Chain A
Amino acid sequence: MKSGRFWAWVVFVLGAAYFFIPLIATVEFSMRMRRGAYSFDAYQIVLGDPRFQATFMYSVIAAIFTIILGVLIVVPAAYWIRLRLPQLRPVVEFITLLPLVIPAIVIVFGYIRMYGSNSPLPFLGSDTGTNSLLVIGYATLALPYMYRAVDTGLRTIDVRTLTEAAQILGAGWGTIITRIILPNVLIAVLSGAFLTFAIVIGEFTMASLLNRPAFGPYLQNIGANRAYEPAALAIIAFVITWGCMSLIQILSRFAPRSSNRPN
């Protein structure tokens, strides 16, 4: 058993080295901008760049719309499947896995060819349409994560009893979903939302191919033209991802553990 613990430490230390050396190197590199001394110049330049602020805000807004769209699509479907149409579950689960099978670049390629300005649904004919198409594309990327988060949340509450109780008290479907179900799965929805945010904020492929002024293409552009700023941006991106994941962890502490009556 003693040798087992020794090897466990070896594996852990090697793993930690592989994961921390690039982070340390990136921090170090990002501070090398001023000759002969460490400084935060690269961060100052990046954060002060108006294009950084504009593209970052664009991606934040796109992420918020993606989350809203994802919730509107996923919550009613997951609820309804649990309540009335359990036979559809395998179909829906299969569909939500598709974005893991079909690469993002293929999905967006399909959009470009199907929704061009000469097509019956010319999304790409206007700016608003293209922005919507980007949000829609992001929602498909986030679909597997959003669906799983919401479905796990629904599993921990007793959907049927809650619905019947609400119906007896005279609630309509709109009230049931917005005032009974959504608050009960809010923590699960928020977990899905932060994961969506982490995925969407630096996304490159879709934004670039749809020619949107998003954060991902901006990152790529800086990477191709600057020396120290990319390292600073990588650290900023890591901190954002880390923040999203910590929020999910904190939220999971408030989530209900199990259903009182599993159905």
Chain B
Amino acid sequence: MTDLSLSDQAIAGKTAPPSEARAFRLPTQWLGVAPFFIFAVMFLILPTLYLMLGAFQNNDGEFTLENIAALAQPSIVAAYWISIKVSLASALIGAFAGLAIAIAIVRGGLPDWIRSATLTFSGVASNFAGVPLAFAFLATLGRLGLATVILNTVFGLNIYAHGFNILSFWGLTLTYVYFQIPLMVVIITPAIDGLKKEWGEAAATLGATTAQYWRMVVIPVIWPSFLGTVILLFANAFGAIATAYALTGSSLNIVPILLYAQIRGDVLHNPHLGYAIAFGMIVITGLANVFYIWFRTRSERWLK
């Protein structure tokens, strides 16, 4: 489909060189963006709309709210709840830790190579997600993992006896943080770079203490992009499935895993309930991103 319209464009280009194209202005204007829009509509927008409409239909194609109402059953509510908790916890931990690291490398007076090494590593680690990340944490904090063994033999602390389990809420959160922190560092470092030196000097000239400078200048300026990034991290964790699935199998009931099981085998015995779960996920990440864009536009006024 997309190839077809591309070759159309090439032919149009040959038969009507730009200078003579005036008579056909309207079609040629749109030919350049046509592949993009056809692709986006066919493979991004329509499939999503199809699911969203399906969420409001019954098996005979009639309008109904039953599927949405059926989301209220305890197992599905529990899945949404644990997904939201894991995403929120990993986003908040990742955001604060990432902010601390970004401030340390930009403002902390550390050697220059640490800054560039940290940024490079963050680029790698923020993309090191999915199944391999789960393997790495199993090798670290699994029952036979290096950290578990060392804590037990050297420090005499058996974390599994104290209720820790990698296949649990905290295990999953700790794993997600591995890609959340670097993502925060990558996004927030430019914002901290954007804090102008003059502001600090101006504050000092006016007699502000360091604490006042941070409280009344730095935090208000960073705040919108910080909050915006927290939301982005939240959406990032909310839709992720591969890490959780490889880590816990289906023992931890988060929404993407529930949806995965539903797509594979209709475990809920109602195909339209699957649509409703997908609809719920889009609503949550969609709301998150509306806030993200809103905060982002607010912060950009300051960081130009």
Chain A residues with CB under 8 Å of chain B are 1, 4-5, 7-9, 11-12, 15, 18-19, 21-26, 28-30, 69, 72-74, 76-77, 79-81, 84-85, 88, 92, 95, 97-107, 109-114, 136-137, 139-140, 143, 167, 170, 172-174, 195, 198-199, 202-205, 208-209, 216, 219-220, 223-224, 230-231, 233-234, 237-238, 241-242, 244-246, 248-249
Is A172 touching B13 in the complex (CB atoms < 8 A)? Answer: yes
Q: A140-B43, A202-B131 given as contacts; is B246 within 8 A of A219 (CB)?
A: yes
Q: A12-B105, A245-B123 given as contacts; is B48 within 8 A of A72 (CB)?
A: no
Measured between beta carbons, the chain B residues less than 8 angstroms from A137 are 43
Is A114 touching B108 in the complex (CB atoms < 8 A)? Answer: no
Q: A72-B35, A73-B35 given as contacts; is B18 within 8 A of A173 (CB)?
A: yes
- List 17 other contacts, CB 8 Å, given A5-B109, A8-B110, A85-B33: A15-B104, A15-B118, A19-B125, A21-B140, A29-B146, A30-B139, A95-B44, A95-B45, A103-B282, A104-B241, A105-B259, A172-B17, A195-B127, A209-B264, A237-B128, A245-B123, A248-B123
Is B260 touching A220 in the complex (CB atoms < 8 A)? Answer: no
Q: Which of B133, B146, B241 contacts A28 (CB 8 A)?
A: B146
In the A-B complex, the 7 residue pairs with the smallest Cβ-Cβ separation, listed nearest first, are: A8-B108, A110-B47, A103-B239, A80-B32, A173-B13, A25-B146, A77-B36
Measured between beta carbons, the chain B residues less than 8 angstroms from A110 are 46-48, 50-51, 278
Is B47 touching A73 in the complex (CB atoms < 8 A)? Answer: no
Instruction: Say which one of B2-10, B69-77, B154-162, B187-195 lies at the interface with A.
Output: B2-10
Interface status of B29 (Cβ within 8 A of chain A): yes
- Taken together as a complex, chains A and B put the C-alpha atoms of A204 and B134 apart, in Å, by 12
Q: Which of A22, A69, A203, A249 contacts B140 (CB 8 A)?
A: A22
Is A72 touching B2 in the complex (CB atoms < 8 A)? Answer: yes
Among residues of A, the one whose C-beta sits closest to the C-beta of B115 is A12
Measured between beta carbons, the chain B residues less than 8 angstroms from A97 are 289
Is B47 touching A25 in the complex (CB atoms < 8 A)? Answer: no
Is A12 touching B51 in the complex (CB atoms < 8 A)? Answer: no
0/1 string, B90-134, CB within 8 A of A gives 1: 000000010011011101111000100010110111011011111
Is B108 touching A4 in the complex (CB atoms < 8 A)? Answer: yes
- Taken together as a complex, chains A and B put the C-alpha atoms of A101 and B249 apart, in Å, by 25
Interface status of B273 (Cβ within 8 A of chain A): no
Is A172 touching B127 in the complex (CB atoms < 8 A)? Answer: no
Interface residues of B, dominant DSSP: helix
Is B238 touching A103 in the complex (CB atoms < 8 A)? Answer: yes
Is B2 touching A223 in the complex (CB atoms < 8 A)? Answer: no
Measured between beta carbons, the chain B residues less than 8 angstroms from A88 are 33
Interface residues of A, dominant DSSP: helix
Is A22 touching B139 in the complex (CB atoms < 8 A)? Answer: yes
Measured between beta carbons, the chain B residues less than 8 angstroms from A209 are 260, 263-264
Is B43 touching A11 in the complex (CB atoms < 8 A)? Answer: no
Is B285 touching A103 in the complex (CB atoms < 8 A)? Answer: yes
Is B133 touching A109 in the complex (CB atoms < 8 A)? Answer: no
Is B36 touching A98 in the complex (CB atoms < 8 A)? Answer: no
Q: A11-B101, A12-B105, A105-B256 given as contacts; is B133 within 8 A of A76 (CB)?
A: no
Measured between beta carbons, the chain A residues less than 8 angstroms from B50 are 110, 113-114
0/1 string, B20-60, CB within 8 A of A gives 1: 00000000010011011101100111111011001000000
Give B231-245 interface residues, CB cut-off 8 Å to A.
232, 235-236, 238-242, 245
Among residues of B, the one whose C-beta sits closest to the C-beta of A231 is B139
Measured between beta carbons, the chain A residues less than 8 angstroms from B105 are 8, 12
Is B32 touching A101 in the complex (CB atoms < 8 A)? Answer: no
Query: How far is the CB of A76 from the nearest CB of chain B, in Å?
Result: 5
- Taken together as a complex, chains A and B put the C-alpha atoms of A106 and B241 apart, in Å, by 11
